[in-house]
Structure 1
Amino acid sequence: MQRKAIIIGATGLVGQYLAKQLSELYDTLIVIARRPPRYINASMRFYQLNDFDNLAEVFTSVGVNHTTDAFSCLGTTKKQAGSDEAFRKVDHDYNVSFAKLCRDKGVENFFLLSSMNADLDSRFLYNRVKAETEQSIKELGFAQLVIFRPSLLLGRHKGRPLESISQKAFQLISPLVSEALPMHPISAKRVANAMAMCAHNIYERHKYLTKQVSATTTIIENKQMLAMTRVKR
């Protein structure tokens, strides 16, 4: 059976690594983004979308169905978005809209990049919106919803000077810090690796599934991602 994947957020810090891996795991990878991803190969089908308010229009032609797995690495910051409302629109509304469109097309497996501090009761907008997005997508009833909650992401962030400073400070002390600590930073590439590994497990299961599985949600915490992607010496 030919397997497809669809991804939004493929030009972001984690998404750029994940898109490359998914293009090697699936027969076809559908990428919806404002600009082309850095890495493109023959299995990718790129759909340029300048305004995600028009996402539903793209779905009329991408060919998403029950053989498609969906991935979202879409996210921003209040500073990049310009306001609380604009931030919520990207991190919550666009993600939930994408998930709804996927579910309406029969998609059973959804993989969501979230944040370690997602919390509906948090006093911080970023954490609350991440939790609200998780909850909204849970309610759609995917057969498999896998949520990834990384800590501080290591990598080049455009327009995020505070995170860049944090990363430089961590690099100085990283040899002394155990990966067993819950707040241990993680590289974007390792998060992508963990997402691809989980997708591969579900992808393999499809060869043997003969009936619809019940709706379940799995949360992959930062500590688990670090353990899954640790290089054995």
Structure 2
Amino acid sequence: MGKTALVVGATGLIGRELVEQLLESDRYDAVWIVVRRSKRWSHPKLHEVVGFEEMDSSLPQIDDVYCALGTTIAVAGSQEAFKQVDLELPLEVARVAKAHGATRYAVVSAQGASLRSSFFYNRVKGELENALRIFNFHHLIIARPSLLLGERDSFRLGEKAAEVISRPFQSFLLEKTPEVAPIQALHVARALIMASEEGEGIEVLTSGMMQRMSR
């Protein structure tokens, strides 16, 4: 029997890549997603739970969790609303998944995540990383990507501007400074899935590491 994966943040940039790659993987017999509204995606291995409040009662036994939840303060509307999506929900997912048997949790954090960061965004990501350690998953994988590249459903002016400006230098950045080079969302997803094949303890994937894993 293959494994069962849970993906949260499945409609986002990295989340969509995770779902697509997991459905193609022979390692998983079932892929579950938790969404706010039904996506009605059709695939024999794909199952959905509508509403995070339904997770505990609706999910089966889970092996691996992939958490790609994330927003911006501008989209969320306030710092508290941002923390609800980027901190509280991932921790609730960890609690429920652990109760359903999950032993591995792979989460998308951010480059510069730290409890001591002067930037609110990075402090929240650092708080998430720190809090997830308390759950004592057999394998906790923390991905810290740099600027993400890919086709988003929503337009983010700052990220789009940075992508356009950096585009002529991407090859140079990848060769000379892979840690700060923009990274494709599909490469982050691929690296998380590769890291989930084996391992234990706490594993941190820097942006440069994920760039090299995807070559």
- Normalising by structure 2, we get a TM-score of 0.92
Contact 2:56 2:96 in 1 (8 A): yes
Q: Tell me by how many angstroms 1:146 deviates.
A: 0.6
Contact 1:134 1:147 in 2 (8 A): yes
Contact 1:179 1:223 in 2 (8 A): no
- Normalising by structure 1, we get a TM-score of 0.85
- 1:95-129 per-position Cα deviation (integer Å, ceiling 9, x unaligned): 00100111122211111111111011111110000
Q: Tell me by how many angstroms 1:24 deviates.
A: 2.2
Q: 1:116 to 1:39 in 2, by over 3 A?
A: farther
Contact 1:183 1:222 in 2 (8 A): yes
Q: Tell me by how many angstroms 1:39 deviates.
A: 5.8
Which residue of the partner structure matches residue 190 of structure 1? Answer: 187
Contact 1:11 1:36 in 2 (8 A): no
Q: Tell me by how many angstroms 1:172 deviates.
A: 2.1
Aligned residues: 211
CA distance in structure 2 between the partners assigned to 1:168 and 1:138 by the alignment? 36
Contact 1:69 1:109 in 2 (8 A): yes
Letter matched to residue 165 of structure 2: A
User: Which blocks of at least 5 consecutive residues in structure 1 are unaligned?
Assistant: 206-214
Q: Tell me by how many angstroms 1:177 deviates.
A: 2.6
Pairs within 5 Å for 1:25-174: 25=25, 26-36=28-38, 40-49=42-51, 52=52, 54=53, 57-65=54-62, 68-157=63-152, 158-174=154-170
CA distance in structure 2 between the partners assigned to 1:84 and 1:34 by the alignment? 21
Letter matched to residue 20 of structure 1: E
RMSD: 1.7
Which residue of the partner structure matches residue 175 of structure 1? Answer: 171
CA distance in structure 1 between the partners assigned to 2:171 and 2:103 by the alignment? 41
Q: Tell me by how many angstroms 1:47 deviates.
A: 1.7
Which residue of the partner structure matches residue 5 of structure 1? Answer: 5
Contact 1:4 1:28 in 2 (8 A): yes
Structure 1 vs Structure 2: percent identity of aligned residues? 33
CA distance in structure 2 between the partners assigned to 1:180 and 1:190 by the alignment? 18
Which secondary structure does the structure 2 equivalent of 1:177 belong to? helix
Which secondary structure does the structure 1 equivalent of 2:49 belong to? strand
User: Which blocks of at least 5 consecutive residues in structure 2 are unaligned?
Assistant: none
Residue among 194, 209, 215 paired with 1:224: 209
